[in-house]
Amino acid sequence: MAVGNASIYYHLNLEQFHVLRSSNRPSCCKGRGLLVKQGMEWGFSTRAQCRVATIARHISPALCSAPNPFMQMGTQAIVDGGIQIRADVRDALERGFPVVALESTIISHGMPYPQNFETAKEVESIVRDSGAVPATIAILDGAPCIGLEEAELKKLAQLGKKAIKTSRRDIAHVIAKQATGATTVSATMFFAAKVGISVFVTGGIGGVHRDGEITMDVSSDLTELGRTAVTVVCAGVKSILDIPRTLEFLETQGVTVIGYGTDEFPAFFTPRSGCKAPTRVNTAEECAAITVANMNMGLQSGILVGVPIPAHYAAAAEPVEIAIQTSLKEIKDKNITGAAVTPFVLNRVNELTGGASLSANIALIKNNARVGSEIAIATAALVEGS
């Protein structure tokens, strides 16, 4: 395959990949070597063709003058626009192994240190133990990074809210200022899609705020889902948001919304929102089939998978949901509006629950990581078998 003036060769020696445990390696991670080049026969699988095409779309012409589009720099590889990909993530992407993207705002802004650092490590371990490769995404000193070393995770966790909360609109600014940015759902999706990661796990997504038809306060997560083909695994949206209007907005954006093992779209701390999920699947394989069909059709829109909080955690999180409803009533009584709503609610919920919301939040992201890893593995297996 020619990109610019260079021919790109990929030698896919699957048995040399060292990250996944050999004893737990999924079937999609076993296979033969394959040499891919334009004008040559593609070989035993379309997986390599799919991966090469995805990566090549995002390689900058300047970098493609090198024989290998991945330019080594220590344990990192530099690709389009100076994006750095950790070596194990790069290898997994080249070989078609399952990779799970993880956001970094949940580390810097979602919880205090050291719980944020410990949670980040535990979530990555869950992904690895499931048989996939974790790729936490952040911008460090102006460099977009796909996959962080433990020391980088710790630095980001310690920075906390000093790191810039970075959505799609902030990416160029953070890079230009050579600053450190923690990526939100929208920015994480952007970078994940840019390097060919198809599955992304988070806690919950943003949505249409209450009275959003007046304030126009709509999260960029929703518009990103409408234009970026990544499968986002989450626990739904918090009930402080307008869930019916959020689902309507997602429909307008052409986003496939899925209830995982449920007919009702989940509302983060509770499995019940009162809103029907447009689509239901019961297995990771069903989710993978939808993900691959979305890729094959070139729909260029995302998929949102709502995973209900497990029953034993839902009971523990019930006081959190009660606190949310209490704070919403206080908002009306105090006539709090606009940008002041979310900070007020989050602060009141934390006060009313004595910190229980943090424990429930951690449980959610861990459960989503397990489900998301299964979907990533099933997707990789389906692509390999196609």
- The CA-based dihedral angle spanning residues 110, 99, 366, 78, taken in that order and rounded to the nearest 10 degrees: -30
Higher pLDDT, 19 or 136: 136
Compute the mean pLDDT over every residue in the chain, rounded to the nearest whole number.
82
Q: Can you tell me the mean pLDDT for 244-257?
A: 97
Nearest to 237 by CA among 227, 254, 222, 226: 222
d(CA 293, CA 198): 12
User: Mean pLDDT across the stretch 331-352?
Assistant: 79
Mean pLDDT of 198-216: 91
Looking at residue 80, its pLDDT comes to 56
Phi, psi of 12 (to 5 degrees): -95, 85
Percent of the chain scoring above 90 in pLDDT: 61
| Cis peptide leading into residue 343 (ω within 30°) | no
Q: How far apart are CA 380 and CA 54, in angstroms?
A: 14
The answer to whether 238 touches 342, Cβ cutoff 8 Å, is no
Active site residue 103: yes
Query: Residue 62 has which token pair?
Result: 């300047």
The one catalytic residue in 103, 124, 264, 321 is 103
- CA 117 – CA 107 distance, rounded (Å): 7
Half-sphere exposure of 239 toward its Cβ, with a 13 Å CA cutoff?
24
pLDDT at residue 135 is higher than 90: yes
What's the rounded mean pLDDT across residues 209-227? 90
pLDDT band at 95 (very low <50, low <70, confident <90, very high): very high
Instruction: Quote the CA–CA distance of 302 and 293 in Å, as a whole number.
Output: 12
- Residue 51 pLDDT: 55
10 Å CB burial of residue 150 (0-12, 13-18, 19+) is exposed
Average confidence (pLDDT) over 232-242: 92
pLDDT value at residue 75 = 54
Alpha helices in 169-310 (DSSP H): 171-176, 185-195, 212-215, 220-227, 243-252, 284-297
Is residue 68 predicted with pLDDT exceeding 50? no
Mean pLDDT of 56-79: 41
Q: What whole-number distance in Å separates Cα of residue 121 and Cα of residue 171?
A: 25
Catalytic option among 154, 194, 238, 366? 238
Contacts of residue 59, defined as CB under 8 A and 6 or more positions apart, other chains included, come to 3, 69, 79, 80
Q: What CA–CA distance (Å, rounded) separates 340 from 111?
A: 20
Return the pLDDT at 312: 82
